[in-house]
Amino acid sequence: MRTRPLKVALLGCGVVGSEVARIMTTHADDLAARIGAPIELAGVAVRRPSKVREGIPADLITTDATALVKRGDIDVVVEVIGGIEPARSLITTAFEHGASVVSANKALLAQDGAALHAEAQENGKDLYYEAAVAGAIPLIRPLRESLAGDKINRVMGIVNGTTNFILDKMDSTGAGYQEALDEATALGYAEADPTADVEGFDAAAKAAILAGIAFHTRVRLDDVYREGMSEVTSADFASAKEMGCTIKLLAICERAADGGSVTARVHPAMIPLSHPLASVRGAYNAVFVESDAAGQLMFYGPGAGGSPTASAVLGDLVAVCRNKLSGATGPGDSAYAQLPVSPMGDVVTRYHISLDVADKPGVLAQVATVFAEHGVSIDTVRQQGKDGEASLVVVTHRASDASLNGTVESLRNLDTVRGVASIMRVEGE
Amino acid sequence: MRTRPLKVALLGCGVVGSEVARIMTTHADDLAARIGAPIELAGVAVRRPSKVREGIPADLITTDATALVKRGDIDVVVEVIGGIEPARSLITTAFEHGASVVSANKALLAQDGAALHAEAQENGKDLYYEAAVAGAIPLIRPLRESLAGDKINRVMGIVNGTTNFILDKMDSTGAGYQEALDEATALGYAEADPTADVEGFDAAAKAAILAGIAFHTRVRLDDVYREGMSEVTSADFASAKEMGCTIKLLAICERAADGGSVTARVHPAMIPLSHPLASVRGAYNAVFVESDAAGQLMFYGPGAGGSPTASAVLGDLVAVCRNKLSGATGPGDSAYAQLPVSPMGDVVTRYHISLDVADKPGVLAQVATVFAEHGVSIDTVRQQGKDGEASLVVVTHRASDASLNGTVESLRNLDTVRGVASIMRVEGE
């Protein structure tokens, strides 16, 4: 084994960073044996140097992150600051000064992944980011490497633990959205401002990263259709139950049937209770992958938290250090396929639509005609009367999102349709 | 991209081999883009050259596998023959003549993995074998690489599809073992001689491989305790249901609580229906991993079949070809921890024991005394009378296998105990 240590600079020392530093110390011998050389924490860049950080020598702490990555003797920079700047500039500077980078930064990777990969490659360095998607669940490495000889057709996952906690709570207790959110906040699963989670921004960033890797295609954050889950109601769960389904916030990346394009989207959807994703409870994450040869795979585990995220960071750190010692780099960005990303209107799936209608003869015929005019085929209709009003629940066969939107617009124009109570996609069949 | 192709020799052209050859042809462009160079099927060694093999040029077919791996221009040998010899000698010869090896051979890896890894390392070559455990499920790469910065404490999996199909059938239909086995045979899930599957030999080989990787320790096939599932009865499933459990054939690799030793075992066990492994149906496989930092992870997918296994082989082929191009080798064998493998008697778990006893006062007290004398603490007892006879169902707290065996031996010597109807371990809590 090489005795001269590889030097690691840590940018950020919050929940994840402090856990990375702790494991680097407590598991030093194991990490050295697995890498083939010891690793040494050479510096830790923080914003608040006065905060006591147990187990980290005070002389390693600095507020000058740029000077740290410019030192020139750093082998690997671990970026766990999050956000776009200064993380982006620091990573670029790291590459230019001889370091490879391990990052847990999904927002940055989703927005600037292509440029960062190009910079890594120009400088002959590695950029690894297993922790950016679904915490500790090994996902990027399996998709990029284990399935490298296969053709992935669909990646469908629960990639946000906060929203899964809320939806699971609504499903199991009958709680409304606000009540479940409040509990998530009280337990620390949701942040004070939960927008990034509940409106699907976090999941959309992960969808962009996953779609890019799965389809060897550049998928930008703007390419991802996004719909949050803050409008899911107890009534939606009741409807889902009647169909033998539950509701999950899903990130779905699909190759079109003709193989010529891809789509990426995030929205709440009903899935059958028999689907492996339906039984993913609490704040857990899971990603279901369908490929030509391997068939159906699922990867399950904790999607967030200091320790799980640190586990993913350290797995990458070991790999990047090994690459460094052997003078090689790992599999980098792969966007050779350059498939176009289609808009949401082209997505084909099934829909569950609840309508409030007048309770009189001929309404069902009118409604059915509208669906037919838009080429949307109906699978089942359930009609329920109540005090002169009635509700119609329509479940469609597979149709494009554009056709469905056209249908709904026409339905709203019918005198006999008082309102469209809810529209939800049905996935996983 | 390099234009000179990398040359691949295929040893074996059965269900898996022919699928590997097919995908190499149909997905040639994708594979070339992912590797950075085209790959070329340079030769296919078979036993029966007269058999028609669609899509494989006749001039590539040979019966002389040794001459093929000795050619000297082969970059990667894909071994999908199975069994110990001639696979073992061919792999050794391949290393000596400049080729890296991708194998799907669990029996060989479990028996001779250490020696083969040593040969690969001496020759500066790769030995990859993702397909040897749980078919297409990415497992070896996640354990070896993604979790390289973590400490794995337990690997517990359903790693044999045939037995899971049989047990699932017994659970869902109430069928007996023989009836379920017959159906598995008729559907092609079980071989004419099902011994390797139902007696747990196949799962034991996988357990040895998984334990070795998870604990960075040499675990030989002989170190794995093995108990098949051919004696599981409908009555056992009824007992399991009463406990809110089902029965699975599990491969369990554990680090002892003090961290100083490991165990590996294969046996049928009750697991709670709420455990993620309980809902793994049909011939699917899944492996549940518990580690210090990442927490609980699960990997799920098809555990066998031509296409899934070919997917795993091709993922390895891409990785090995990439390594070849960059002049590096991937992470090889890692047995630095050298932990001792403890015998089955040291394993600590819970037990479900059914006893046929005389239906008279004082029997329960006698039985309870025997448990106490052996230091086995009882969790619950259920007593049921029938025609002067009674049955006692005892579920214990955690105890060592040695203590439990001692207890059962003493119970058999009690006059009031007519027989021990069944003993089954309870896992997953």
Q: Is B125 annotated as a binding residue?
A: no
Q: Is B179 annotated as a binding residue?
A: no
Q: Give residue B406's pLDDT band: very low, low, confident or very high (50, 70, 90).
A: very high
pLDDT given for residue A108 in this prediction: 95
pLDDT given for residue A132 in this prediction: 93
pLDDT given for residue B304 in this prediction: 84
Write b or e for each residue in B367-388: b if 16 or more Cβ atoms lie within 10 A of its Cβ, otherwise e. beebbeebebeeeebeeeeeee
Helix (H, G, I), strand (E, B) or coil at A335: coil
Q: Residue B1: pLDDT above 90?
A: no
Give the pLDDT mean for B100-126: 95
Q: Cβ B34–A334 below 8 Å, yes or no?
A: yes
Other Cβ atoms within 10 Å of A317 Cβ, number = 26
- What is the spatial distance between Cα A329 and Cα A336, in angstroms, rounded to a whole number? 18
Contacts of B349 (CB under 8 A, 6+ apart): B269, B398, B399, B401, B425, B426, B427
pLDDT given for residue B366 in this prediction: 94
- DSSP single-letter state for residue B315: H
Q: What sign has the CA pseudo-torsion A270, A274, A280, A285?
A: negative
CA-angle at A325, arms to A322 and A329, nearest 5°: 65
**pLDDT tens digits for range B244-287:** 999 999 999 999 999 899 999 999 999 999 899 999 999 999 99
The overall average pLDDT reported for chain A is 94
DSSP H or E segment with residue A252: strand A245-255
The overall average pLDDT reported for chain B is 94
- DSSP single-letter state for residue B5: P
Give the pLDDT mean for B97-113: 95
Give the pLDDT mean for B202-216: 96
Which residue numbers of A are catalytic?
206
Token representation of residue B217 = 């320790």
- What is the spatial distance between Cα B394 and Cα B184, in angstroms, rounded to a whole number? 33
Helix (H, G, I), strand (E, B) or coil at A134: coil
Residue set of the binding site of A for NADPH: 106
Q: Residue A50: pLDDT above 90?
A: no
Q: Cβ B138–A149 below 8 Å, yes or no?
A: no
pLDDT given for residue B195 in this prediction: 96
**pLDDT tens digits for range B326-373:** 888 888 888 889 999 999 999 999 999 999 999 888 899 999 999 999
Give the pLDDT mean for A45-64: 90
B326 Cα to chain A: minimum distance (Å)? 6
Which of A146, A155, A277, A280 to probe by mutation at the B interface, max B CB count within 10 Å?
Answer: A146
pLDDT given for residue A134 in this prediction: 86
Pairing mode, strands A417-426 and A262-272: parallel
Q: Which domains does chain B have, with CATH numbers?
A: 6-133+306-326 (3.40.50.720), 140-302 (3.30.360.10), 344-426 (3.30.70.260)
Q: Residue A429: pLDDT above 80?
A: no
Q: Residue B220: pLDDT above 90?
A: yes
Q: Cβ B293–A300 below 8 Å, yes or no?
A: no
Tell me the ipTM for this assembly. Answer: 0.91
Give B424's strand partners: B352
- Which residue carries 């394993």 as its tokens? B347
**pLDDT tens digits for range B155-208:** 999 999 999 999 999 999 999 999 999 999 999 889 899 999 999 999 999 999
The active-site residue, picked from B7, B51, B151, B206, is B206
**pLDDT tens digits for range A134-163:** 888 999 999 998 999 999 999 999 999 999
B1 Cα to chain A: minimum distance (Å)? 12
- What is the spatial distance between Cα A376 and Cα A379, in angstroms, rounded to a whole number? 10
Which phi and psi angles does A307 have, rounded to 5°?
-65, -50
Q: Residue B386: pLDDT above 80?
A: no
**Partner residue opposite A326 with nearest CB, options B27, B292, B328:** B328
Other Cβ atoms within 10 Å of A402 Cβ, number = 15
pLDDT given for residue B334 in this prediction: 86
Pairing mode, strands A295-302 and A61-62: unpaired
Residues of chain A positioned with their CB less than 8 A from the CB of B317: 149
CB A273 within 8 Å of CB A245: yes
pLDDT given for residue A333 in this prediction: 82
- What is the spatial distance between Cα A80 and Cα A77, in angstroms, rounded to a whole number? 10
CB A195 within 8 Å of CB A202: no
Q: Cβ B148–A313 below 8 Å, yes or no?
A: no
Write b or e for each residue in A164-199: b if 16 or more Cβ atoms lie within 10 A of its Cβ, otherwise e. bbbbbbbbeeebbbeebbebbeeeebbeeebebbbb
